[in-house]
Amino acid sequence: MTDRDDLLRRVSAKACETTELLPPPATAEEVAQAERALGFRLPPLLTRLYREVANGGFGPDYQLLPLAGEGRTAVNEYRKIRETSGPGADAHWPADVLPVLDWGCGMYAAVDCRSPEGAVLLFEPNGVGDDWHHAWYADSESLTEWLETWLSETGWYEEGADEDGELRPWESAQQRLAE
């Protein structure tokens, strides 16, 4: 068993413990269709989450968006957000950054699909004004780290979390938004 296999087993167990009814996993064809619609590939661990655990409906607080299907999905959110993200100075959402969880109040957890590790970002637009790069934070260096934080209940979003732990600005935000 690999470390990723063990991680997915633990994520699946927690998802079953904390979610009343998990949706079925996404099929290989649904993932392939999602990647075609997005125009980029998902990091392998994100694909495995959707294929082996469930098509969303688990995870921190508000839970992962479904990747595929009807209604509100990660693919539909990405396409909608990118359509409203203007070019140049008005750009607020970079290419190849998939929103995977809606925290509410305009905030999202998103996976940088250009990052081999699937870095997880926080988009927090409240009070930013027009300097959109200030709305982006590095939540976790990898999807693995983000999931481990959820499993251990030590994320910034947890009640009683260390309030002194500040999220770091995403260093690539300005450059990626300018593309």
pLDDT 10s digits, 98-141: 999 999 999 999 999 999 999 999 999 998 877 899 999 999 99
pLDDT of amino acid 163: 56
Count of CA atoms in the C-beta half-sphere (13 A) of 97: 24
Tokens 């809606």 correspond to 102
Give a yes or no: residue 149 inside a domain.
yes
Give a yes or no: residue 161 inside a domain.
no
Q: How confident is the model at residue 66 (pLDDT cuts 50, 70, 90)?
A: very high
Query: What is the value of pTM for the model shown?
Result: 0.94
Q: How confident is the model at residue 168 (pLDDT cuts 50, 70, 90)?
A: very high
In the chain, the number of structural domains is: 1
Is the pLDDT assigned to residue 51 strictly greater than 70? Answer: yes
Amino acid at 29: E
Q: Residue 102 — φ and ψ, nearest 5°? A: -95, 110
Structure tokens at 149: 């934080």
Spatial CB neighbours of 33, under 8 Å, sequence gap ≥ 6: 68
Compute the average pLDDT of residues 7-32: 96
Distances (CA, A) of 31 to 22, 36, 45, 46, 80: 18, 9, 13, 10, 19
45 vs 61: which has the higher pLDDT? 45
Which CATH number belongs to the domain containing residue 107 in this structure? Answer: 3.40.1580.10
Q: How confident is the model at residue 88 (pLDDT cuts 50, 70, 90)?
A: low
Give a yes or no: residue 27 inside a domain.
yes
DSSP 59-98: SSTT-PPPSSSSSS-HHHHHHHHHHHS-SGGG--S-TTEE
Domain coverage including residue 106: 3-155+167-178
Give a yes or no: residue 174 inside a domain.
yes
